[in-house]
Amino acid sequence: MSSLLIEGGRRLSGAIEVEGNKNSALPLLAACLLTEQECVIHNVPQIRDVEVMAQLLLDLGAEVDGIGTTTLRVRCRRVAKDEPDAALVGKLRGSVLLLGPLLARRGRAQLSAPGGDFPARRSISVHLAALLALGAVPVEGHGHLLEVPDGLKGASFYLDEASVTGTETALLAAAVARGPSEIRHAACEPHVVELCQFLRKMGAGVSGEGTSTIRIDGVSPLCGAEHVLDGDYIEAGSWAVVGAITGGEVAITGARPEHIEVVAAVLKRMTIECRIVGGCFTVLPSTPLATRRITTGLWPGFPSDLVSLVTVLATQADGRTLVHDWMYELRLFALEQLSAMSADLFLCDPHRIIVSGPKRLRGRSLDSRDLRSGMALAAAALAADGQSVLGPLETVERGYANLVTNLRSLGAQVERVE
């Protein structure tokens, strides 16, 4: 395992071009299992989560070319088994997306508990309910074991929550089910929209993406398709907040302007000067002010994936800010480490934290317990006086490509330590 040695107190300035959306890459790779023909995906982020998904496809019998590059070619002439490797599944929350394709190609799917951040607290009940509505039947066995004795059948159903991966699981199964399907209370995030676009290229009839009701006319077999991933607006927002935290000027390209608006709106409320011009999102040196409340929301609300970073920004803002992430427990707990860096925090409960600032942070050893809080703690270390050590670095690299190289390009003094 590796750690990141960080010398703080430097303003970061420069330009970053983000890679493709991680949260789009994973479901599109899973969709490649729905056809025997070749699929090609461009602008793939070179991150650990994508590598794990590619290894899962190989384990199931697919041919995958280009692992470690920005273009992946996938062809799955046959699916060799119905139970993905448990060790790989335990590393990736997105492995749950394999359930639908396995049911479609094998008539049976067995999945051990998916990993990722906080696996014990993140249920897949929405995913299973959608698959049951589409004709799956639960079977006794370890993990999650499903069969489709009569094949996948189109259905009309309501999701208990607008889960992103739950909606994607339903889409992947419905795309090859017999007859039409309708998913109500569907997630509207850009990565769900991108999966719908890809499935339409593969031949499925899909309409309503970006709204809470998606209709699918299943087609089997699907054909191969080629797609260029949109830029990752979460990565773009992360670099923007890092620039704001360190008081620097950072220009970010590669993400769609309409996706960046959800981040820019919160930064502007905190008096961070930023602008979107011609596809470039620029954050300028500013003096942040506290805003009364920042609350996460379903798209197009402020994304939970950025709540940890904006909490660190609040430590540098003048005044008091209540940060409320109602979507996930435990995400804010990892930020208690900021107290040892001299931040003024009050953790009200697993979903709310009150931050008073500005506070000059001090460097220290930090534990990256999950992907997003790991990046947030790295940002705190960059703004702090003195030296910090953040580890394991691999946790952060699950979602941020070329992290050390990008930090150095912005002027950060960082070193990877094995």
Planar angle of CA 93, 98, 103, nearest 5 degrees: 145
Specify the pLDDT at position 386.
97
- What pLDDT sits at residue 119? 42
The one catalytic residue in 49, 82, 117, 305 is 117
Instruction: Provide the 3-class DSSP secondary structure of residue 342.
Output: coil
Report pLDDT for 190.
98
Q: Name the strand (E) or helix (H) holding 215.
A: strand 213-217
Average pLDDT, whole number, for the chain? Answer: 95
Q: What confidence score (pLDDT) does residue 116 get?
A: 61
Q: How far apart are CA 102 and CA 35, in angstroms?
A: 11
394 token code pair:
């691999």
Q: What does the pLDDT read at residue 117?
A: 56
Q: Are 302 and 323 in contact (CB under 8 A)?
A: no
- Model confidence pLDDT, tens digit, residues 100-145: 999 999 999 999 988 765 444 568 999 999 999 999 999 987 889 9
pLDDT score, position 238: 98
For each of the chain's 418 residues, which pLDDT tens digit applies? 899 999 999 999 999 999 999 999 999 999 999 999 999 999 999 999 999 999 999 999 999 999 999 999 999 999 999 999 999 999 999 999 999 999 999 999 999 988 765 444 568 999 999 999 999 999 987 889 999 999 999 999 999 999 999 999 999 999 999 999 999 999 999 999 999 999 999 999 999 999 999 999 999 999 999 999 999 999 999 999 999 999 999 999 999 999 999 999 999 999 999 999 999 999 999 999 999 999 999 999 999 999 999 999 999 999 999 999 988 777 788 899 999 999 999 999 989 999 999 999 999 999 998 999 999 999 999 999 999 999 999 999 999 999 999 999 999 999 999 9
∠91-96-101 over CA atoms, to 5°? 130
Q: Quick: pLDDT tens for 5-46.
A: 999 999 999 999 999 999 999 999 999 999 999 999 999 999
pLDDT of the residue at 122: 62
Q: Do 46 and 402 meet the contact criterion of CB atoms below 8 Å apart?
A: yes
DSSP string, 217-238: E--SS----EEEPPB-HHHHHH
Q: What pTM was computed for the model? A: 0.95
Alpha-carbon torsion angle 6, 7, 11, 15, nearest 10: -40
Phi, psi at residue 100, to the nearest 5°? -60, -50
Which among 127, 15, 152, 144 has a CA at the least distance from the CA of 86?
Answer: 144
14-17 and 250-253 beta bridge pairing:
parallel
- Chain-centroid distance of CA 31 in Å reads 17
Backbone angles phi, psi at 176, to 5 degrees: -120, 10
Q: How far is residue 350's CA from residue 362's CA, in Å, rounded to a whole number? A: 25
d(CA 210, CA 307): 23
Residue 14 burial class via C-beta count within 10 angstroms: exposed 0-12, middle 13-18, buried 19 and up:
middle
Q: How far apart are CA 85 and CA 90, in angstroms?
A: 9
| Rounded alpha-carbon distances, angstroms, from residue 397 to 42, 50, 174, 216, 403 | 20, 11, 33, 35, 7
SS3 state at 63: strand
Q: Is 349 a catalytic residue?
A: no
Q: Which domains does the chain have, with CATH numbers?
A: 3-18+231-417 (3.65.10.10), 22-228 (3.65.10.10)
- Helix H or strand E segment including 41: strand 39-42
